[in-house]
Amino acid sequence: MVEVLASLAAIGCGLVLLMWRMQRRLLDDPAPETGDALPGISILKPLHGVDPGLEHNLESFLELDYPDYELILGIQDPADPAVDIARRFVARSGSVPVQVVVGDARIGFNPKVNNLAGMLARARHDVLWISDANVAVRRETLRSMVGHLLEPGIGLVTSLIRGVGGHGPGGVLEAVQLNTFVMGGVATATTVFGRVAAVGKSMLLRRSDLERIGGFAVLGRYLAEDQVCAELLDEAGREVVVSGPPVDNVLGALSVRQFVDRHLRWARIRRHMAPWGYAAELLTNPVPAALLLVAVDPGIGSAAVFATVMTVLSGVARSSERRLGVRRSLWRYPIIEIARGLLVTILWPVPFLSRTVTWRGSTFRIGRRTWLEPYVDGWDGGDEPAAHEVTV
């Protein structure tokens, strides 16, 4: 028992260090140079409610180092408070063309995709940048992503996500989770295992490639429309790449319950997109093994293993966040890592036991690839169609 727990702790530390190394490598990967012939970009930004820092997030898109782009803000409900913010934003948008689209296309169960479909009809350009409301960007972000998209064979460019502005216990946990496990996991999945990965908070693609995989009408039937989009493009022979410069996910104040809800939604997505990969995630968390080791064998050797685990986790988290420009007191990291490690372990089996998710007032059950069905008693859990027709 002692040897098994010590081995699990060592494996976990090794995987954490691997993810950290791949994350640093991807962050340091230079973007391709862009010439003067740059395509026009339509930025599709779905709004729902007032996200933390929403006005600041929107304003960051007015300062992009890019010659030709427009910003389209989509809001489904005319009574949404985001409507007033969007209209005030248009009044001070300056030379950047901004449209506000109220309403949606109602083409599927995914409300975000319905919103995007409504905006797409108003987009002037062939290249689309999908960006969530809680995202802020730097001046160079779009040019860097376009540099990747212009390379031969590229169908989609997504971004690493940096967690910033997290307050309260849930906000701190979410920020560290994004800046270590999520970012490191995306980097490792793409560079080591050759899997495609996309995060819908920032995705750049051509309208023609979106139509190639069936458009928003297909993606609107999935919870994880971003990852499904990436996988369908990959199956159609279009490469998916991750752009190193991260965009900011502005978190605001979150409770532990909100962290748990967000984590479970993402965990259910990963479990239904890649069941074996999700199962293996347990190995990347050495905290439970280290704590159990100390409990069953409270000696110097076990204490040394626990101290090593906490040193590795705290050091990786601090290094990752410093590299991303996020600064926290060193003494906080062991507390954060123990709390995060225990919570993630407790929540890990839930996606295997529950296929139900509540989203914006509607309840769904999810099948393979996060295929959505409205929840009704007695539903048999039917999965997605066997295949979509994809034009190669």
For residue 359, what pLDDT is reported? 67
Domains in the chain, number: 2
Give the rounded percent of residues in the chain with a pLDDT score beyond 90.
79
Q: Is the dihedral of CA 307, 22, 161, 347 positive or negative?
A: negative
Residue 382 scores a pLDDT above 50: no
Residue 34 scores a pLDDT above 80: no
Token pair for 66: 């890019």
Model confidence over 165-218: pLDDT tens digits?
A: 999 999 999 999 999 999 999 999 999 999 999 999 999 999 999 999 999 999
Q: Are 47 and 192 in a shared domain?
A: yes
Token pair for 94: 């300056």
Higher pLDDT, 144 or 33: 144
Domain contains 376: no
| Structural domain range at position 290 | 2-23+274-352
Q: Is 385 helix (H, G, I), strand (E, B) or coil?
A: coil
Model confidence over 264-314: pLDDT tens digits?
A: 989 999 999 999 999 999 999 999 999 999 999 998 999 999 999 999 999
Q: Are 80 and 224 in a shared domain?
A: yes
* Distance of alpha carbon 209 from the chain centroid: 21
Cα(182)–Cα(340) distance, rounded to whole angstroms?
13
Q: Are 313 and 233 in a shared domain?
A: no
For residue 106, what pLDDT is reported? 85
Query: What DSSP line would sit under 181-234, residue for residue?
Result: IIHHHHHHHHHTS------TTEEEEEHHHHHHTTHHHHHTTBS-HHHHHHHHHH
Torsion angle of alpha carbons 327, 286, 183, 364, nearest 10°?
-120
Domain contains 85: yes
Q: What is the pTM of this model?
A: 0.91
Q: Are 175 and 317 in a shared domain?
A: no
For residue 377, what pLDDT is reported? 47
Measure Cα distances from 191 to 61, 122, 186, 252, 303 in Å.
Answer: 29, 36, 8, 31, 35
For residue 244, what pLDDT is reported? 83
140, containing H or E segment: none
Q: Are 142 and 16 in a shared domain?
A: no
Q: Are 11 and 105 in a shared domain?
A: no
Model confidence over 108-135: pLDDT tens digits?
A: 889 999 999 999 999 999 999 999 999 9
Residue 381 scores a pLDDT above 50: no
Q: Are 233 and 90 in a shared domain?
A: yes
Q: Are 68 and 151 in a shared domain?
A: yes
For residue 1, what pLDDT is reported? 82
Residue 36 scores a pLDDT above 80: no
Q: Are 307 and 164 in a shared domain?
A: no
Q: Is 32 helix (H, G, I), strand (E, B) or coil?
A: coil
Domain contains 215: yes
Exposed/middle/buried for residue 315 (C-beta within 10 Å: 0-12, 13-18, 19+): middle
Residue 364 scores a pLDDT above 50: yes
**What is the per-residue burial (b if ≥16 Cβ within 10 Å, else e) of 14-45?**
ebbeebbbbbeebbeeebeebeeebeebbbbb
Token pair for 10: 């060592």
Q: Are 98 and 207 in a shared domain?
A: yes
Among 41-55, 117-131, 352-366, which stretch is predicted with the lowest mean pLDDT? 352-366
For residue 358, what pLDDT is reported? 73
Residue 20 scores a pLDDT above 50: yes
Residue 238 scores a pLDDT above 90: yes
* Residue-averaged pLDDT of the chain: 91
Tell me the CATH number at 58. 3.90.550.10
Domain contains 297: yes
Q: Are 144 and 53 in a shared domain?
A: yes
Token pair for 58: 């929107």
168, containing H or E segment: helix 168-177
Domain contains 372: no
How would residue 361 be classed by pLDDT, with cut points 50, 70 and 90? low
Q: Are 142 and 284 in a shared domain?
A: no
- Hey, which residues does 136 pair with through a beta bridge? 248
Domain contains 336: yes
Domain contains 151: yes
Residue 383 scores a pLDDT above 70: no
Domain contains 375: no
Residues 356-376 have a mean pLDDT of 77
Model confidence over 67-100: pLDDT tens digits?
A: 999 999 999 999 999 999 999 999 888 889 999 9
Task: Specify the length of the chain in residues.
Answer: 392
What are the catalytic residues?
Answer: 226
**CA triple 168-180-318, angle to 5 deg:** 75
Exposed/middle/buried for residue 191 (C-beta within 10 Å: 0-12, 13-18, 19+): middle
For residue 386, what pLDDT is reported? 44
Cα(346)–Cα(9) distance, rounded to whole angstroms?
17
For residue 389, what pLDDT is reported? 41
Return all residues near 292 (Cβ < 8 A) that are at least 6 apart. 5
Q: Is 311 helix (H, G, I), strand (E, B) or coil?
A: helix
Residues 331-355 have a mean pLDDT of 94
Model confidence over 50-69: pLDDT tens digits?
A: 988 999 999 999 999 999 99
